[in-house]
Structures are given as C-alpha cells and as structure tokens.
Structure 1
Amino acid sequence: MTAPRTRIVGRPQSRIQIGEWIDMAARRTPRQACFVSPSGTRSFAEVRDRVHRLARGLQRMGLRQGDRVAVLATDSPEYVETFLALFKLGAVAVPLNYRLSPAEITTLLRTAEASWIFVGDRYAPDVLRAWPELAHLEHVIGYGGAEGTVPYERVLLMGTDGVLREAVVEEQEVIALAFTSGTTGLPKGVMQSHRMWKTMSANAVLEYRFLRDEFRYSASPLYHVAGLGLVLNAICRSSTSLLIPQWDPAELLTWFRKGLTDVFLVPTMISSLLRQPGVSPADFATLRSVFYGAAPMSPDLLTSAMAVMDCDFYNGFGAGTEAGMQTVLTPEDHVRALHGHPHLLGSVGRPGYNIDLQIWDAENNEVPLGQVGEIVTRSDMVMSGYYGQPEKTAQVVVNGWFKGGDLGYLDEEGYLYLAGRKDDMIIRGGENVYPIEIESTLAACPGVLEAAVVGVPDPHWGQTVRAHVVLAPESDATAEDIQRFCRERLAKYKVPDQIRIHRDALPKNASGKVLHRLLREST
C-alpha cells in the first residue's frame, strides 16, 4: 500500500512523537500483523493507512489540537486506531470505563468537558439520552454505526484523500485525561503528558523484554493505562497484539493453542485458566512469559502455574494511572524464590529503570529498611496532576515525588514488600493490622480462591478484622475452618473476627485490584 501524504510543520526532527510510532512500525514491517482479533487480522501497513484516514476525516469534521475526545467501548482494533489518530492530531484522549453506570459516565463526560465521543453500540443509547445534559458534547461517533451516531467507517471514508496536518506535541503537553478507578472514592481525572506515555512505554519495553516476534495479549482493558500501554509497547517493537472484546478464560485458552507467546493477567485469571476443563502443558507450548499484576501471587498458585505454563514470570507493581510502573519482580527472581528464597514470592520486586523509590513516614521522612511506611516514587512517569483539583494534586505530589497511598517496606536487597493501602490499615485495640498479611495467609488456605480483609467499627476494639473469601466450587470449607487455619499462622489480634464466604468473585477495578471500600461498606 502507498503511504498517505503527510505534511509535518515545524516538528523538531530529533524528537519522536507517539503519533509517529505506527508509521515507523509500518515502514519497518509493513506486512507483519499489528492486530489479531475475532474479526480478522490487520497488518501494520493497513493499520497505518486506517489511522491516517481517520485522522484526516476527523480534521475535516473540525477536530482541533487540544479537543477532549472520550472513548467508551470494549476492546477492538478500532479502539486502538482511535487513540493513534488522536495522538497524531494532538487531541486529549479520555478513555472511559464501560463498567460504570450511565449516570457515572455522564458525570465523567461533564467533568472532562469532552466535545467528542467514540462509542460502542452497547453504550450508544445511554450517551445519546444524556447528550442534552452535556453542554460541551458536539460529536458522537459510533463504532458500529448505531442510529443517532456518525458511523466510524464513514469518518474513515471522509479521510480517503487529502493532506494530513499532524500536530506538534511538546513533551509536557497533556495527551490523555484518564480517570482513576475510584478505589478510595469518586474517580479523579489524571492529566497524563506526552513525556509520561513515552517513558511508560520505554520502561516497559526494557523491563519486560518485549521482542519483535511476539504475539501478545493483555487482559487489562484498553481504557486502563496498562491495557493500552501494552498494545502501544507492541507497536513500538513491531510485534502483534491480540484484541478480544473482554476477558474470557475459555476463549483465551483457544488463542493459547493458536500461538500466543506472552500475556498479562492478574492472579485470579491465572487460577481460572488452570481450572479450565482439560487444560494441560500442551496448551501453552508457545508461551514465553506471563506478566501478572495487581497482587502478589500465592506460592501454591505460582508453583502450579510455572509447572503447567513452563515459561518466564514477571510481577509488576505501580500506581499505573498516576505514576506508571514502579517495581518489577523478574523471571530470575521467581526462579530464585523457588530454589531456596521463598520470601521473594511475597515481594513485588525492585524499582525499574530510572525510577527512584523511597519509603516515607507521615512527616515525609525516609524510614529505615524493614519499617513500614508509604511508598513514594520519582520519575518521568509522574502525572501532571488531577484535572481541576490542585489541592488534591498537592497532597499526592510533593517536590516531584508521588504518594499513592500504598504502604510497604524495603529489605536489605532492595526488594519491596507491600503492606496494603494507607486507607485500608486496621487499628485493632491500638495494634496496627495490615490486611495484605492476612490476605496472604488466607490465600494459602485450602479451598480459598481469593480473599480480602477490611476493618469494621467496633465499640470495644475500635476496629475488628473482617475477611471476605471466595471458595472454589468444590470446597466445603467453613468459616470455623478458615479461622482455625489463621490461628495456627497469625497473632491472635490478626485473626479475622468475622468471615464472609462468597461464591462469586470479589468486586474489582480495571486493574484487577479488589475494591476494599465497597467491602467495608457492605453490611
């Protein structure tokens, strides 16, 4: 295919912009598959040409640099094409969590002052109903062409010819407004700069060792920084990404059999895969690496996964939306853990490339090794701030250091161990109780698939410990069994006073982290 004509005005030739990544990949490997999805395969050359057509079509419709453009849909090649076009035009992308209620979506669109939205057919009726309430919204583009929207493919047709005028985007300019998952309350709009996104990709490609011949899948949805970031990393390396609408263990197993080489999953997803009927090591014959996040993996699950999947494992920890990746537990660390150093499986690794990490007390002083405090990092991945909330920004960004509210401690070798979130810490009768320690114990209890621990008010102790556990379908464990297991392994004041048994998964955010706030609020 012939590359579309492009005019680049005033861009410093020494500075690469994210909007150019698809062009560079298409020149490097034009026939290589960029996206594989249930609907087919698109090469890098095809994706480049579609992105150029989309960008020209949007310019003809009046899109300007700096316009806020929301995206509300499940994962698809078109979703990524949209972001690539927006990066070329210097617009501000606003990815929205499709799991939110229509009222919540309306609030976020109003907060973001979005003047454009790309929407999937499933969510188009809700957006169209809310449109009269949204003073800034001017254009609704439908991926499926739902009635009342401008069909996505029509916008591409509008950009069939003509000259694309790409924007010059400075490093400090905001290119995305991503809302937090709301683990601690209402979502906040995180301003993400061009520099932040470039640095996140560079760090990930280095630390997770991306290669050009990969066929990679991320279970993190594209509206989350990890989901879109991993696809952009693959574009940087001219490797192939699998895009399926939503996580489904049975469907993913079929893709493993079709040659997947690398995946990002959370531990509960790995557990679900290993429990699929008939699963065997032969299903993972091409698999090279599993990158997992959101929580440390229990030693039993990791041992089982490594035996069946027989590949490298990475654990990544970070503030994601607000500060990118922070630490990495490498494949070598995992092997070392299984050969005489099992404590490392409770760690989330050491700081990644060009990331400064410290542990602070309440007065912002660095604490000694082994002492629990707040995890803070400084890097080029720290956000530009919360949109319209300077006071909240000042609370979490102190002299360039990001304070995300996660607690932890460092050992003598520089490994980081999590101790939960500052807001989740339980004070029972004057004793500090860190939920993550109890959760790790519960994860080792026979029959327990996942667990979360919260503090609940108590007139005598101030707070007591309540555990929420999800049991395997075949388990007949009782609350008394689980408490007995904990009493044999924990100090008395850490043993859960209450056990809530669930048969369904615990509530989680987009990155797979359990929403402790919702569990605390449950009666």
Structure 2
Amino acid sequence: MTAQRTRPASLTAQRTSPASLTGRRLSRVQIGEWIDMAAKRSPDRACFVTGSGTRTFAEVRDRVHRLARGLQEMGLTQGERVAVLDTDSPEYVETFLALFKLGAVAVPLNFRLSPAEITTLLRSAEASWAFVGDRYADGVLAVRDDLDHLDHVVGFGAAAGTVSFDEVLRRGAAGSPREAFVDDEDIVALAYTSGTTGLPKGVMQSHRMWKTMVSNAILEYRFLRDEFRYSASPLYHVAGLSLVLNAICRGSASLIVPQWDPAELLRWCRQGLTDVFLVPTMISALLRQPDVRPDDFATLRSVFYGAAPMSPELLTQAMAMMRCDFYNGFGAGTEAGMQTVLTPEDHLRALDGHPHLLRSVGRPGFNIDLQIWDAAGEEVPVGTVGEIVTRSDMVMSGYHGQPEKTAQVISDGWFKGGDLGYLDQDGYLYLAGRKDDMIIRGGENVYPLEIEATLFAHPGVVECAVVGVPDPHWGETVRAHVVLAGGVEATPEELQAFCRERLAKYKVPDHIRIHSETLPKNASGKVLHRLLREQS
C-alpha cells in the first residue's frame, strides 16, 4: 500500500469569491469557460480533427465537463499540480480544459526527455497527479514511490497500474462541474523551459498571462471562425497549446496529430487546411516532398513561422509555392509570450524593393513595450546591438522556487530574456543571437546570427549554427556547424571563402563542420547551441 503523501503548498494563495457577490462569478470571464462559450456559439462545428474522425465543440464541452467531474470525484482540488506527459491528442487538450475549470495547475512535460529528467521535473513541480500516455506510463509508475507527492496516475490509454482516462470520464456524471473561482494572478501552468542554454526552470504562468497571449495572438494573426488550423509545435510547448486555445476561442477547427510529419501535413493541405504554424526546417521539408506543387496549397490562407532563423532564399521559395499570407514572430513564449510580428504586408513590401525586411522579425505587437538595453540597463541608439527587453501582461510570474533567477530576468516589470538585437529607424527588430551565445574573439564582439544569415545565403546550406569555442590566443574562435542540401557538395574551405566575400575577417568562421544529419534541436525547433559548443 502506498503511504499517504504530503500535499504541496499552493503556488499562489487560495482565494474565495467576495462575499458581496451573490454567485461565484465575477464580471470577467475565466479561462475555464472558453470551451463553454465556443460550444454555445457553434455546437456542431468541428473543434478537433484527427486521422480517425472529428469532435464537435458540443462533444468536447461535454467530455471536458465529465472529465472535470470525474476528477472531482477522485479528489482533485484547486491548486494541485497535474503533470501531463504524452504526444499530441484531443484527450491531451481536454485534460487542460478540465484543469482550467478546476483551478488546478497544469505541468506539461516534454515527452522527449529521459526518464531521469522527467523524474527530476515531477519532483521539482511537486506534482500530485500525472496524466501519461502508454509509452511513458511504466517510467512514471516505476518512480512513483520515490516521489513524495504523486498520488494518482491517469493513463490516456490502457497501461497497467494507471486509472484509464475513459474510466475518469465514466465517473463524471453529465452536467456542469463545480468550477473554481480563480484570480487572474493565480497560476494556471508550471511550464519548464526548453533548456537550450542550461537546466530547465519552472516558469509560473498566470491566468492573466494566458488570457493576454491568446487574445493578442487572435488579434495579431487575424484568426477567423471558418478556419482549419494546424500547429507543428507540440502541445506541451506554449506555442502549440496556445494556438489550439486561440482556435477554440474563435470557434475554428484544429488538426491534431501525434507528431509532425511532412508527408501527412501535405496530405492535409490537399484536404483543406487554411493556416499552419511551422518552423523553417519544417517548411523546407514540406517543399521537398515528392510531386509538391502550388495547387496543394489552394486553400491555405497563412503560414506563421518562427522559433528559428529562415533564409530569405527559403522564404522567397515558400512564398512563391504556397501563395498565401506569411507571418513571422519572435518571443520568449514560455516566459513572456510573442513579442514582435512581421505582417503579411511587411512580407509583400520586402518583395517590392525592401528585401532587408525578410531579415527582420517585425515590430512590437499590441500593448507590448520593447526596448534595447546595454549592460548598464540604459536604452541604446537605433542600430546598436543590445539586450531585448519587453514589458507586457504576458510576462510570467517568476521561476518556481528560484527567486534569484527570477530577479535576474525581471526588473521593474521589464523582462530580460537574454536575446540580443537592434531596432532600425522604422522600429523593426533584427536579432543578433543569444546573450550567452555572443562570441568575443580577440576583444571583438561577434554575433552568431549575422554569420548564420550569411551562410544561409549560400544556395547549398539548409541548416547552420555558429558557436564560440575556447582558444588560448583569441579567447574564443568562431565555429560553424552546417547541413547541406541533398546532392550538394561544398568543402569547409569553400564556405569560408563564401563568408570572406561578405563578412569582416574576424567574423569568418575559423572552423566549419559539415553534418550529414540535422542539427540537434529542442521541441520548438531551436538549435541546441549548448550541445554543439560541447562537441570537441
């Protein structure tokens, strides 16, 4: 028999509805009500589309209500932390929607992590519940007794030792659950960072943050009700889940498949997809599919790309093939949401004699204050590289249990994410890389993104990343990691000569390594520079 475990302290103080109110509701709408309002407006419209069928908004609402009631019957209370570990599925989203209603704290976990890493995060989050897919159930069950707080393990499938998701649904009677009253500053999710520059940190995301992220995205990316959208970002990542929530709020359909596959996405494009979110390497893979042609994208209205640099050559090729609106965006999604937007009009202007805009990530989005600071925290002149800082209602509440790290990145309401860039005279932002990735070679600052943009201009380069490596003479030297397109042959010396024609001598990579396979990336498509830097 499992010993009774200690209940972790709430991330935020529990609040009760003011006594002056006759009911539990305040004038503001809570996140847990989004699915109810969508189902009221469009009960028979498709909410989730998968390879095996469709669920309408009314069906999803009813399932979410039953799931929430079933969890209440099993003892889930407001403020408890609930880990979710699986590939993408409608049930994954339904779990989050139910947790929103109950005022629980969702803890999405990266399914690509090792069992040891997952155990570390479960312990850090003090999760008392875990929803797991069959592939991950054994690993979680094996460490359950070593965790002080993990009382319940719910299986999305039928893994032995778990309570099945369907069983929780059966426990929930029809009707509305007892919804929790939450304050906008209460924590809705504890999301762990991607760890591109170090160990993951638990980001405390409030209801206020999520409300703002979703409403801003609907505004900036012009969501409509009759769309059929797909996001290649996995649901455990803030970009993946928020884009599905955007669609729910607008009453439009979302394609949900377990994992990204270029051939499958092309098939869905031929079946009526209207909008997609992809990272640049995915766009490249999609355009390399056999027999791909412009007619495959006849219903496509927009492509939203981000998370990593895209060469102007690839972007121009994609725009010619897909013939739709293109958006680019930059942000610290987990900690501060989307911060800038390069609009479809900006892309068209770039093709009409202003190609430099394709190197930009756009201008600050709605209600976002963005500045460029030097090391002393002073705003720098136009055209000067410095740290990108922003202030908005999308900034996180801090890092769980790490007040010192929180203080390092949030100062008087300004979020400092460690990204470098500069603004031009028209307010467009151009990235220069991560603060931690900046290379100091013989006293000269070298910004990796400038070199990567140069290498991307080579017609044979499909992926590249630039890192600094220790050197006894220069302090650091520049090393580039490159992946070439199929059938292309180019030597490191040829690529260095290509850079030498376009860059100052001290910026030309001292070493270039050509990889036969894709560079290591996290789930959002960002290259893991740390791993490349550690290579001998």
**2:143 equivalent to 1:130:** yes
Paired with 1:368 and 1:68, the residues of 2 have a C-alpha distance of: 45
Aligned to 1:35: 48
Equivalent pairs: percent with the same residue?
80
Q: Are positions 1:108 and 2:125 aligned together?
A: no
Deviations for 1:313-369, whole angstroms, at most 9, x for unmatched residues?
A: 000100100000100000000000011001101100000000000001111111111
Aligned counterparts of 2:71 and 2:500: Cα–Cα separation in 1: 62
- Preserved CA contact (<8 Å) 2:32 2:97: yes
Distance 1:327 1:518 in 2: 28
Q: State yes or no: 1:278 paired with 2:291.
A: yes
Instruction: Show structure 1 runs of 5+ residues with no match.
Output: 1-7
Deviation at 1:162, TM superposition (A): 6.1
- 1:381 is aligned to 394
C-alpha contact 2:128 2:151 (8 A) present in aligned 1: yes
Task: Find the residue that maps to 1:223 and give its secondary structure.
Answer: coil
> 1:183-228: per-residue Cα shift (whole Å, max 9, x none)?
1111000000000000000000000000000000000000000000
Is structure 2 residue 383 aligned with structure 1 residue 370? yes
Partner of 1:166: 179
Q: Deviations over 1:6-32 (max 9, x none)?
A: xx9843342101100000000000000
Query: Are the aligned partners of 1:296 and 1:315 in contact in 2 as well (CA < 8 Å)?
Result: no
Aligned counterpart, 1:248: 261
Structure 1 range deviating more: 8-17 or 178-187 = 8-17
> Separation in 1 of the partners of 2:274 and 2:115?
37
Q: Distance in 2 between matches of 1:463 and 1:164?
A: 59
Amino acid at match of 1:485: F
Aligned-partner SS, 1:191 = strand
* TM-score normalised per structure 1: 0.98
1:315 matches 2:328: yes
Partner of 1:156: 169
Structure 2: state its 5+ residue gaps: 1-20
Distance 1:131 1:296 in 2: 41
- Consecutive aligned runs of 4 or more in structure 1 exceeding 2 Å deviation: 8-13, 160-163
Aligned residues of 1:296 and 1:347 also touching (Cα < 8 A): no
- The offset of 1:299, in angstroms, is 1.2
Q: Deviations over 1:266-305 (max 9, x none)?
A: 0110000000011000110100000000133211111110
What does residue 4 of structure 1 align with?
none
Residue 198, structure 1, aligned to residue 211, structure 2: yes
Q: CA deviation at 1:473?
A: 1.8
User: Quick one: distance in 1 between partners of 2:118 and 2:166?
Assistant: 24
Tell me the distance in 1 between the aligned counterparts of 2:82 and 2:158: 18
- Matched residues in 1 for 2:23 and 2:397: separation? 25
* Aligned counterpart, 1:264: 277
3-state SS of 1:254 partner:
helix
**How many Å separate the matches in 2 of 1:9 and 1:177?**
32
Question: Matched residue of 2:120: which SS?
Answer: helix
Tell me, in whole angstroms, the C-alpha distance in 1 between the residues paired with 2:530 and 2:22.
Answer: 49
Structure 1 counterpart of 2:246: 233
What aligned pairs does 1:465-476 form with structure 2 within 5 A after superposition? 465-476=478-489
Give me the whole-angstrom Cα distance separating, in 1, the residues matched to 2:278 and 2:340: 17
Q: Tell me, yes or no, if the aligned pair for 2:62 and 2:174 is still in contact at 8 Å.
A: no
Does structure 1 retain, via aligned residues, the 8 Å contact 2:276–2:303?
yes
Structure 1 residue 424, shift from structure 2 partner: 0.2
Alignment of 1:294-305 (within 5 A): 294-305=307-318
- Checking the alignment, whether the CA contact within 8 Å between 1:360 and 1:374 is kept in structure 2 is yes
Cα contact 1:10–1:168 (8 A) shared by 2: no
CA distance in 2: counterparts of 1:427 and 1:264, whole angstroms: 35
Whether 1:222 and 2:235 are equivalent positions in the alignment is: yes
Q: How far apart are 1:489 and its partner, in Å?
A: 0.9
Matched, 1:354 2:367: yes
Amino acid at match of 2:239: A
Question: Quick one: which amino acid aligns to residue 202 of structure 1?
Answer: S
Distance in structure 2 (CA, Å) of the matches to 1:27 and 1:258: 27
Q: Which amino acid aligns with 1:442?
A: L
* 8 Å Cα contact 1:323/1:382 also seen in 2: yes
CA distance in 1, matches of 2:201, 2:26: 35
- Structure 2 residue aligned with 1:175: 188
For the residue of structure 1 that corresponds to 2:267, the secondary structure is: helix
Equivalence for 1:419? 432
Q: Alpha carbon RMSD of aligned pairs, Å?
A: 1.0
Q: Which amino acid aligns with 2:283?
A: I
Letter of the 2:59 partner, please give it.
E
In structure 2, what is the equivalent of residue 25 of structure 1? 38
1:98 partnered with 2:111: yes
Match of 1:442 among 455, 462, 469: 455
1:504 deviation in Å? 1.1
Alignment partners' CA distance in 2, 1:95 and 1:132 = 21
- Alignment map for 1:377-416 (pairs within 5 Å): 377-416=390-429
Aligned to 2:10: none
Query: Structure 2: which amino acid aligns with 1:16?
Result: V
Judge conservation of contact 2:85–2:109 (CA < 8 Å) in 1. yes
Aligned-partner Cα distance in 2 for 1:150–1:203: 38
